[in-house]
Structure 1
Amino acid sequence: MGNDKAAIDNFKDYLHATFHIKDLGAPKYFIGIEIARSDQGISLSQRKFVLEFISEVGLSGCRPTMIPIEQNIKLTTAEYDRGISQNDDPILKDPSGYQRLVGKLIYLTTTRPDISYAVHTLSQFMHSPKRSHLEAALKVVKYLKKCLRLGILWSKQCDMKMRAYCGADYATCPTSRRSVTGYCIKLGDSLLSWKTKKHLTVSLSSAEAEYRAMAKTTCQVVWIRGLLKDLRIQV
Structure 2
Amino acid sequence: MTETTVPANLRDWAVAWPQYTPLDATPPELKPQALAREVPSWTEAAATPDSVTDWAQRQKDALVPFRLDHRGWPLHPQGRTGKCGRNLGKWGENAAADPIVIGGSGPDRQILLITRDDICQEAIPGGMVDPGEAAPAALVRELHEETGVDLSTHQPLILGQDLVDDWRQTDQAWVVSTSALYVLPATVTATAADDALNATWYPAGSMAALETAITDAGRTLYPAHRPLIARALSRLSQ
TM range (shorter): under 0.3
The structure number with the bigger radius of gyration is: 1
Higher relative contact order, chain-length normalized (CA < 8 Å, sep 6+) = 2
Q: TM-score by structure 1 length? A: 0.24
TM-score by length of 2: 0.24
